[in-house]
Chain A
């Protein structure tokens, strides 16, 4: 029953934007984790940064336990922002192009002095409320899409399989519900 309903949801073309840039981008996401892992032995996730960074401004015991790793987590997060900015400078701005790259089909592309920036059309309240729940959930649940989804699944960790299955199924349900309620984008 659930399966037939799910099949009814399937689009005629499951990959309307192709798969190349998804596969290349995903491999690079994994490569970023691998570079850090091979050099340092650390399987880095992106969400601990939220708590470890709070240790700079809060004395609460929960945040202080991340004191030891807070500096490099800030560097990791800045690296992520910088890497995405390099993408914006090159492929997003059209300075570099490749048959493997797909131009954005969503949101809004804006030209700012030769640099093309991309801005979401998803409403601020969705980003804000979603962010709060993500901030709570990822820390209670011991990881996010990178910690559980990339490092944890890559480690064949049962906790991470359960974590990913849980947030993926719940997110699908919520996204479908929000869409059914007519909220867009």
Chain B
């Protein structure tokens, strides 16, 4: 799967350019500044609604438009699919834990990477914490699967 994805010479460049626009947008919208996010969560500035819904509307147009207008993704041959995850208790539990962290710090993963780009070296505390948290959950969620790992490596 990955080999096919990464076979096209423009695959990595287009991912980088996409990230570039994404990160520039986070800088331009000030969402890379934790204070702005906290101001939003504390009902002092509702501007962030325009970032979240603006981005979702733009992506929604592509996600619903692409399958109708284009056949398959040119660089991978993949069909255009919607991002659909199964709704179970993990979505609510994980969302709740994420919400506590987001409300406490004003940072989230994409905005944290962008924050580093605008010179906010203090965000390294947050990024280090995210890796530790991701490792902790991965460590404990690996346990029951460990014996089956060699048999089924693919997801």
A residues in contact (CB < 8 Å) with B: 6, 9-11, 14-19, 21-47, 49-51, 53-54, 58, 60-69, 71-72, 75-88, 91-92, 101-102, 104, 106-107, 110, 112, 115-122, 124-160, 162-179, 185
Determine the main DSSP class of A at the interface with B: helix
Closest to A8 in B: B43
CB < 8 Å neighbour of A60 from B82, B92, B121, B142? B142
Q: Is the CB of A127 within 8 A of B23?
A: no
**Could you tell me the distance between the alpha carbons of A148 and B126 in the complex, rounded to whole angstroms?**
20
Q: Is the CB of A49 within 8 A of B137?
A: no
Q: Is the CB of A64 within 8 A of B153?
A: yes
Q: How large is the interface on B (under 10, 10 to 19, 20 to 34, 35 or more residues)?
A: 35 or more
**Could you tell me the distance between the alpha carbons of A33 and B85 in the complex, rounded to whole angstroms?**
18
CB < 8 Å neighbour of A175 from B42, B61, B128, B148? B42
- Could you say which residues of chain B place their CB within 8 Å of the CB of A141? 90-98
**Could you tell me the distance between the alpha carbons of A37 and B125 in the complex, rounded to whole angstroms?**
31
Q: Is the CB of A88 within 8 A of B85?
A: no
- Could you say which residues of chain A place their CB within 8 Å of the CB of B59? 30, 33-34, 37, 43, 150-151, 154
